[in-house]
């Protein structure tokens, strides 16, 4: 029997290598791939790395830098201490527990969390997650930049067993207790102020203070987070009752978690005649693909909130498109070279569909000051067909 290596075997591992996906397959937990997921319903399995349960929740729109996994800690259990050189934002889907983080100097911080909390682990710090309930499983969503990190270094020991410390990422001790610093950035006379909250831990996203951002739709509220002085971005937005946001588009990899309220999101590429619809309720996460328009609609009798996590923070934008967003490009009309569809430019089917949806839920429209709703209700189906109207794209420059 010959020991000679065939040409095909000699090339294996030397062409089109994806170290992140190689790592994913080696973790031996379920890998779910779809446009979006109900993270509360995904199948998990024993995950040796955490000594817990988990799965990968991959989305078609995750792009090159970002991904998501679900971590599940059984009642009364805890994970093993872990650390890694990628950034991760944890959003608590269900359950109660605590997290201990070991600082570079050896001191440790422990904080308690419950459903709809958000926290970040400072880069390469060792941490351990505890389920404080003896009856209920704790399930957390972790949006991360592991694809960027593993594909850049393609060495798992370097990523998971690296002794280097980043003391500048720690923040003050009170940031692990839900405190932080509000930063208000003036972006120019024609652009709304940017409100930032710098912290490591947000105890409850449903009650966290947000700030007016009417450029994204009348009554829209928003705050951007700087978490653990990282390169990843997160923001929370709120849609008022009886209203919806303006459509826009951006880079790939933005993981959108529905936090509170009910409704739906519509997604489409420029020139398409049909929408893709994603339901809106806690536990749902989806990722709009690169340059795909998407629009969020509240259909319930209370404000609806969501959490979006992506690459490129307001402090460290990382890519040019994210820098334009921080400067206000994400709220600039496509008529002016931006990425937002103003209400007067949107397809009439969009408002009609929403009116029909709120009729079913008994909610009154608060958008009669913008739309001639009687006229839109009177439109016949054949008068609302065709490609979704948007001006010709100028490309992803802003």
Residue 118 has pLDDT above 50, yes or no: yes
Evaluate whether 332 touches 324 at the Cβ level (below 8 Å): no
Rounded Cα–Cα distance for residues 230 and 250 (Å) = 20
User: Tell me: the pLDDT tens digits for 277-328?
Assistant: 999 999 999 999 999 999 999 999 999 999 999 999 999 999 888 888 877 7
Q: What angle do CA 29, 33, 34 make, to 5 degrees?
A: 150
The percent of the chain in helix, strand and coil, each rounded to the nearest 5, is 20, 35, 45
Evaluate whether 120 touches 161 at the Cβ level (below 8 Å): no
Rounded Cα–Cα distance for residues 160 and 158 (Å) = 6
Sorting pLDDT into bands at 50, 70 and 90, what band is 382?
low
* Paired sense of beta strands 31-34 and 52-59, if any: parallel
Residue 390 has pLDDT above 50, yes or no: no
Sorting pLDDT into bands at 50, 70 and 90, what band is 6?
low
Residues whose CB is less than 8 angstroms from the CB of residue 309 and which lie 6 or more positions away in sequence, other chains included: 66, 89, 91, 143, 232, 233, 234, 254, 255, 257
Evaluate whether 55 touches 31 at the Cβ level (below 8 Å): yes
Rounded to 10 degrees, what is the CA torsion of 91, 317, 175, 110? Answer: 50
**Structure confidence at residue 189 (pLDDT):** 64
Evaluate whether 287 touches 60 at the Cβ level (below 8 Å): yes
All structural domains of the chain: 17-174 (2.60.120.10), 175-343 (2.60.120.10)
Q: Over range 154-182, report the average pLDDT.
A: 94
User: Tell me: the pLDDT tens digits for 186-201?
Assistant: 877 667 789 999 999 9
Please report where in the chains the tokens 């971590």 appear, as a residue.
Answer: 71
**Structure confidence at residue 387 (pLDDT):** 44
Q: Over range 98-122, report the average pLDDT.
A: 95
Give the range among 182-191, 321-330, 378-387 with minimum mean pLDDT.
378-387
Cα of 31 vs its chain's centroid, Å: 18
- Sign for the CA dihedral angle at 299, 303, 304, 309 comes to positive
Rounded Cα–Cα distance for residues 397 and 394 (Å) = 7
Phi, psi of 196 (to 5 degrees): -115, 145
Rounded Cα–Cα distance for residues 374 and 365 (Å) = 12
Determine the longest span between alpha carbons in the chain, in angstroms. Answer: 82
Nearest Cα neighbor of 62 from 295, 288, 296 is 288
Cα Rg of the chain (Å, integer): 22
User: Tell me: the pLDDT tens digits for 42-87?
Assistant: 999 999 999 999 999 999 999 999 999 999 999 999 999 999 999 9
**Structure confidence at residue 264 (pLDDT):** 97
**Structure confidence at residue 3 (pLDDT):** 59
3-state secondary structure 188-230: CCCCCCEEEEEECEECCCCCCCCEECHHHCCCCEEEEEEECCC
Instruction: Give the single-character DSSP code of 79.
Output: P
């Amino acid at each position: 029997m010959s020991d000679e290596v065939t040409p095909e075997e000699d090339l294996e591992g030397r062409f089109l290598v994806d170290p992140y996906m190689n790592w994913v397959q080696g973790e031996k937990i379920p890998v779910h791939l779809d446009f979006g997921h109900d993270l509360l319903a995904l199948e998990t399995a024993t995950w040796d790395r955490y000594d817990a349960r988990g799965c990968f929740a991959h989305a078609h729109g995750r792009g090159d830098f970002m991904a998501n996994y679900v971590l599940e800690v059984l009642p009364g259990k805890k994970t093993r201490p872990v650390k890694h050189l990628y950034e991760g934002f944890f959003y608590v889907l269900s359950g109660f527990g605590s997290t201990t983080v070991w600082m570079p100097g050896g001191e440790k911080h422990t904080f308690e969390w419950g459903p709809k909390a958000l926290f970040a682990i400072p880069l390469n710090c060792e941490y351990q997650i505890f389920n404080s309930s003896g009856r209920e499983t704790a399930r957390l969503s972790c949006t991360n930049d592991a694809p960027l990190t593993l594909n850049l270094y393609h060495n798992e020991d370097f990523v998971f067993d690296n002794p280097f410390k980043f003391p500048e990422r720690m923040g003050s001790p009170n940031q692990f207790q839900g405190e932080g610093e509000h930063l208000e950035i003036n972006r120019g006379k024609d652009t709304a102020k940017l409100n930032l909250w710098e912290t490591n831990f947000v105890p409850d996203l449903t009650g966290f203070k947000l700030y007016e951002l009417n450029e994204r739709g009348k009554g829209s509220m928003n705050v951007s987070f700087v978490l653990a002085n990282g390169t990843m971005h997160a923001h929370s937005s709120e849609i008022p009752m009886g209203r919806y946001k303006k459509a826009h588009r951006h880079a790939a990899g933005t993981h959108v978690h529905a936090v509170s309220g009910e409704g739906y999101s519509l997604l489409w590429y420029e020139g398409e005649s049909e929408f893709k619809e994603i339901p809106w309720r806690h536990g749902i996460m989806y990722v709009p693909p690169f340059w795909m328009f998407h629009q969020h609609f509240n259909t319930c009798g209370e404000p609806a909130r969501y959490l979006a996590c992506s690459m490129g923070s307001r402090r460290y934008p990382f890519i040019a498109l994210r820098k334009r967003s921080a400067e206000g490009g994400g709220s600039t009309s496509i008529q002016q070279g931006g990425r937002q569809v103003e209400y007067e430019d949107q397809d009439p089917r969009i408002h009609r569909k929403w009116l029909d949806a709120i009729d079913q839920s008994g909610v009154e429209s608060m958008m009669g000051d913008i739309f001639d709703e009687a006229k839109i209700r009177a439109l016949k189906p054949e008068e609302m067909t065709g490609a979704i109207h948007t001006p010709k794209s100028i490309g992803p420059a802003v």
